[in-house]
Structure 1
Amino acid sequence: MAGPMRNTKIVEAVTQSGTTTRQGLLDRAFAFAFKGLVYAQIWEDPVVDMEALQIQPDSRIITIASGGCNVLSYLVANPAQIIAVDLNTAHVALGRLKIAAALHLPDHAHFHRFFAEADSRQNIRDYQRFIRPHLDETSRRYWEGRDIAGRRRIGGFSSGVYKRGLLGGFIGTAHLLARLYKIDLKRMLGAQSLDEQRAIFEQHLAPVFDKKFVRWLTDQPPALFGLGIPRAQFDALAGDEKMADVLRKRLEKLACDFEIRENYFAWQAFGRGYGKGPDKPLPPYLQAQHYDAVHARVDRVSFEHANFVERLQAIEDSSLDRYILLDAQDWMNDQQLTTLWTEITRTARPGARVLFRTAAEPSLLPGRIPDDLLARWDYRAEESLGFTARDRSSIYGGVHLYVLK
């Protein structure tokens, strides 16, 4: 779990070119950026996930951890086990912090203040009293260490943790850039209807993407590292379009397709945190009506520092039935995809479900893995289109569901 080993694993995961090529250098730069906290909040919609996965009481789930929000939210569906793996040790530490908090904070009010508000000095006192004694040494050392700016990492929960991390910094930079063009992105949070949301988007937000500097900036792959987008995914996302036009479409969906009062992803993008007050939207694991279920079931979750494929290789045949890959396959070459799906197929029970997202719209599997391997799986194309449309995070081109025949 040491830094150099962690960085090496991430380099191996994202590098598809020689390190002396421009593409290879970009991959290594992304790996360097990705080695710290990236996502304080995951950007895949857990409500869509649970609809697609149809989690049952005997479901054994393996997923990429990311910010851990969805991992804990899946507990609402009452699965038997969740194995959450991640190459990023900061994400593992965040997940383990959430487990300890769910188990040992006194009640939902404390849990809500710690993760939904995340801006109170009382959270640091609660960490010391209730959480710290139950953290493993590696996670405790992470949270009590300092980030690149010299700040204690646990201090983020007293000053707005969702403003930290690579994504938090990216959103903050977007707000700064908007202010330079005399635009207040928080204006969107006051909209009272979808019509008002669209009016704000078309009048204030859309024109920014026509600015020469913005069009130039968004065509530079490092500019999107803050979204967790490596060079290979950047190419898939852009396709034949200018990146500014792609980002405008994704922001339009986020701003215009879902009621602000129901979309916590929009609050993160436009407000840099969850909204204050009992009526503001939250991920399932933070909602008061789910607290008892999360508290009672969180011991079914494990967060592990591991490569997804290597973790699968240590699992027995026909023993898992739900797989969540996030957008990790966008980073992979054909050989890596084949190895992944060989292990998924080996470990999958009949009827197993695999859910993943892609930067571009279509599924990336046809023509990339062997036909006989892909033929073992049923692609739910029509359902996938519906999941894509309903995903409130709005940043992905496609949400895809495969079911083992």
Structure 2
Amino acid sequence: MESGLRSVTEHVQRVLALVGPLPVVSLDLTDADGAVLAEDLHARVAVPPFDSAAMDGYAVRLADLPADGAPVTLQVTGDVAAGSGSGAGIGPGQAVRIMTGAPLPPGADAVIPVEHTSTGRFVAGAAREEGSVTLARRPRPHVRAAGEDVGRGELLARAGSEVTAAAVGALTASGTMRVAVRRRPLVAVISTGSELVPVGGVLGPGQITDSNGPMLAAAARTAGADVVRLGPVSDDAAALRAALDAASVGGTDLIVTAGGVSAGAADVVREVLAASGPEAGGVSDADVASVAMSPGKPQALARWRGVPWLALPGNPVGAYASFELFARPAIDRLRGLGGAAEGLPGQARNAERALLPLRYPLGHAHRSLRAATAWSSPAGRLQVLPVRWVDGGVEPAGSHHSLSALAAADALALVPPDVEKVRAGDVVQVLMLR
């Protein structure tokens, strides 16, 4: 690692030290998608709650069907539809028409699919006409036993996991109506720079449209936060303090700024962070650092009126990379997501080689892929490079400082500080973006 620079691992640890899991709230399960559970959830009822038909067909007694597969003719004595009772049951030599999901009649222990019987198929809306049916034993009984999917009391979801659409289905089916989850974080995003013009504004000489603010706001929403966006703010300390004051009210849990944190004469974030005495305003715990990554070397941490503040660089690709490596883990911890709720998981100790555990305790968005082409990497710094899919692996999506490369990227390659040359065929670690 380059001398005098802070490691990515250490900076993540300092970021996570600023935040903690948010308070627990109770929500209707149908309103909790995307929230993070604060408790383990167990099935209140079995799924299915009764023995049921897995196919449309005829409920029968296996005792009536020869083991050698010879066909028999049974008397059809009734119908059982999904959502109805199980009927009076069946006796020797009898069968009952039954539809998928309907409760198995007493006495039945198998269902013969209608397409494997003399009936052939059922006609929707038509009344039963057959008085008998010819059929034979099948390899499977086509019965879903009570509790076959989920047993009563079975663990369905752990605290620290996200409520997904699939989880909503399983939990609803097993009797859960309300869940205890962490409150959704509120993140304030502020872009800085006198050269920035709001989206849709008229550009003057030397001005550009603010892209960092909308980009980071979108990233924060994707990470599971609610967002308020301020700015762009000019390179003026008083203007930035006013914006920080506005951002720190209303229950804000995290402030993320972009720009003004490098070593330039007009870098207003550094000016505000360096203030002391009455001029310090609401700043505390200021921590300005050069982190061993490229892009994204200039970083800062602080609290503004008690609200955690992450100051990211103004280079758009550096800002996005910094969000993924630092701001997203902070949001994960605020949400109580997985291992982020308790701190760094053990495999994050060598984060320069595999950063996935910082953001994804379960590794669901991290992969090891092969480089399809060669590229260089800065010595002593973790390279965070936008890459895209090609046959045989990944390749740079364009210039590592280019927004167009970021937009075209499928992933961010993470090249360790001790690697100066990635060769075609080398295995690289990536964080998935798509």
TM superposition score normalised by structure 1? 0.25
| Structure holding more helix per residue | 1
Where relative contact order (Cα < 8 A, 6+ residues apart) is larger, the structure is 1
Computing the radius of gyration over CA atoms, which structure comes out larger, 1 or 2? 2
